[in-house]
A = this chain, B = another copy of it.
Amino acid sequence: MFVLGIDPGLSRCGYGVVESTGKNLRAVAAGVIRTPPEMDLALRLAELQKEIHALIADYQPEEVAVERVLFQVNVSSAMATGQAAGVTMAAAASTGLPVALYSPNEVKLAVAGWGGADKQQMERMVQSQLAITKPLRPVDAADAIAVAICHLAMRPSAALAAAKKQ
């Protein structure tokens, strides 16, 4: 099972593909899509849309997980991040893939065991779960990998909850 995790952003959009084979997790790809700030906003969003489609074509994930954008202190950057998240969700859903959203706290809870985990704790837990010796870089790519891990952790319980309802 391949999951594409996205940490949305307009200037820097983190992505990470995680493969789950039973209990093992493997980071298949991780990186950052950048769009130049001097470029026209609509063209930046179109560029981001193209890159998301290219990632889906290249890695053929079965599901997509996107970090939910919350309001930050800087409202103008929150709006740009929201626009980027919107484009990401539409691009993924238009290819027919299921798209799940997770708040930053949900990602921390699923990956590190509690919603108040700091960056270093998250890094160590991601390293441990992927069985890698160095922290993932750049940071946006590591965040996207954490979103994908969160989705893989939440999926079985979601399936279980659905099964219990039946």
Contacts and interface: CB of A to CB of B under 8 A. Distances in A.
Given A46-B90, A78-B79, A85-B86, 13 more contacts: A40-B93, A41-B89, A42-B89, A45-B90, A48-B90, A49-B90, A49-B94, A50-B94, A71-B75, A82-B83, A82-B86, A86-B86, A87-B87
A79 B71 contact: yes
Interface of A: 40-43, 45-46, 48-50, 66, 69, 71, 75, 78-79, 82-87, 89-90, 92-94, 99, 101
Contacts of A79: 69, 71, 78-79, 82
Contacts of A50: 94
Nearest to A49: B90
Contacts of A101: 41-42
Contacts of A86: 45, 82-87
A85 B82 CA distance: 10
Contacts of A69: 79
Contacts of A71: 75, 79
